[in-house]
Amino acid sequence: MTIKNTTDSHHRFHRRNEKMADQEFEIGNTNLPSPYNAEGKLISKQDSYNMDGNKMLWHLDRLEDFKNGKRFAPIHIDSGLSKGCNIKCHYCYGVTQGNFYKESAKKFVSREALIDNYLKSAGKVGVRSIAFIGEAEPTLNPHLYEAVVVGKESGIDISIGTNGILFDTGRDGQAALEHLSWLRFNVSAGSDKSYRLIHASKEFNTLVEKIKYCVEYKRKNNLTLDIGIQMVLTPKDIAEVVPLAKLGAELGVDYFQVKHCSDTVENALGFYERLDDYEKFAPLLFEAESYGHDDYKVVVKWDKITNEGHRDYDQCLGAPFLLYTEGTGKVYSCGMFFDGKFEEGYRLGDLNKQTFQEILESDHYWNVIDKVRNEIDVHKECYANCRTHSCNNFLWDVKDSGVTSGVIKKHSGGFTIENPPKHKNFV
């Protein structure tokens, strides 16, 4: 398979995916209850977070503003805090967004832009949640822990997605744990040997110790945050899914999530053209789910794993509800705009020069939001299963008919308006 449209530096690295063999796997337990629901769809029965859907139903005030043509603050922002990484996962989508691993690890958003221009201002205008997650590793930014505390104190629910190796176990890390809604460790290998291959790192044991530390600190201090581990599923790591389900149970985390691999339509990582392979992984994923129980959820994002990247809508309406900031402080409505041909024309603003409020209240911001809606061809240009995809599904369902009982049934994930899933602000 040919890898197209990557820069030379990334191109060299992506040859690794071509050389890496697909993992072989065997189904250990075939005697499991049917995972299909009455409509014949695969739905996670353990998703107490509605991770495989969206939480737009719990933000109908913003929907009202949208319908009335008003300007409003986004509900959620996925925020990169750096441009590099200390490891090299074979599925890293960040490489299509300007992440050059250790080469770019010293590039990160400054304290002033992050704390003053961004978090305090975003809290003031009503942003409800921010995940420090993005295209690179957030722990490479020395201001991460302070940002968690300031963000929360500004009225925003905060979370972190990290590879965990550098997570601080001193007072800074502890303060972050005390202010976070959730902390998720990115790990797609269940042993030291496979970690070296899948993540190109020798730090598996360090990661395990960091997870143990966070779980222990949470328990000792009765903290409310949820701690999870997340696997990005590809044909190169499928055999890790059951070992990881067991590892999560042993470590005492709250959940183990299995998600799809995002890739560009140009097949930059070599997985876009293999999305239909995922179907054959289902029996092993059922087996992984069987390790979940009341206190430990194994959540397979079935919808995104099985939809083969298809979209049933024609425009991105979700842009004003969910933003993305990249690791040096620029703001966009989509991670696909961080680097390359869309960057300049689709940049909403720059936190190094403006506050978040100034960006949000500018005509330029709303002109770009309109441009996304009218000029981006979601079928030809958008990467598969972007973070905004499920919000788009919701917005297209309510566009003409409003929030009907059918919409509630389809998008509530079994919850009710009065009884929302956990972390409803992380839409």
Binding site for ligand SF4 (CB under 6 A): 85, 87-89, 92, 94, 99, 136-137, 163, 186, 316, 334, 336, 372, 376, 378, 382-383, 386, 388-389, 392
- Our CB check for ligand SF4 shows the closer of 96 and 154 to be 96
Min dist CB 28 to ligand SF4, Å, is 28
φ and ψ of 425, to 5 deg: -75, -20
Amino acid identity, position 396: W
- Our CB check for ligand SF4 shows the closer of 92 and 211 to be 92
Tell me the residue length of the chain.
Answer: 427
Q: Do the Cβ atoms of 379 and 314 come closer than 8 Å? A: yes
- Our CB check for ligand SF4 shows the closer of 56 and 89 to be 89
Min dist CB 391 to ligand SF4, Å, is 9
Min dist CB 283 to ligand SF4, Å, is 27
Q: Do the Cβ atoms of 175 and 149 come closer than 8 Å? A: yes
Helix residue ranges per DSSP H, 169-318: 171-179, 192-198, 204-220, 241-251, 282-289, 302-306
Min dist CB 386 to ligand SF4, Å, is 3
On the CB side of 37, how many CA atoms lie within 13 Å of its CA? Answer: 11
On the CB side of 79, how many CA atoms lie within 13 Å of its CA? Answer: 35
- Our CB check for ligand SF4 shows the closer of 269 and 298 to be 269
Min dist CB 112 to ligand SF4, Å, is 24
What is the residue-wise DSSP string for 3-72?
Answer: --S--HHHHHHHHHHHHSPPPP---S-------B-TTS-B--TT-TT-TTS--GGG-HHHHHHHHTT---
Min dist CB 338 to ligand SF4, Å, is 11
- Our CB check for ligand SF4 shows the closer of 191 and 290 to be 191
Min dist CB 86 to ligand SF4, Å, is 7
Amino acid identity, position 368: V
- Our CB check for ligand SF4 shows the closer of 229 and 386 to be 386
Min dist CB 349 to ligand SF4, Å, is 17
Helix residue ranges per DSSP H, 329-378: 356-360, 363-375
Find, among 405, 406, 301, the residue nearest to 43 by Cα: 301
- Our CB check for ligand SF4 shows the closer of 354 and 392 to be 392
Rounded CA-CA distance 215/229 in Å is 11
- Our CB check for ligand SF4 shows the closer of 305 and 334 to be 334
- Our CB check for ligand SF4 shows the closer of 92 and 359 to be 92
Rounded CA-CA distance 385/272 in Å is 10
Name the residue with tokens 């200390």: 86
Min dist CB 321 to ligand SF4, Å, is 10
Rounded CA-CA distance 311/198 in Å is 29
The sheet carrying 76-79 orders its strands as: 297-300, 255-259, 226-232, 182-186, 157-162, 129-132, 76-79, 322-325, 330-332, 349-350
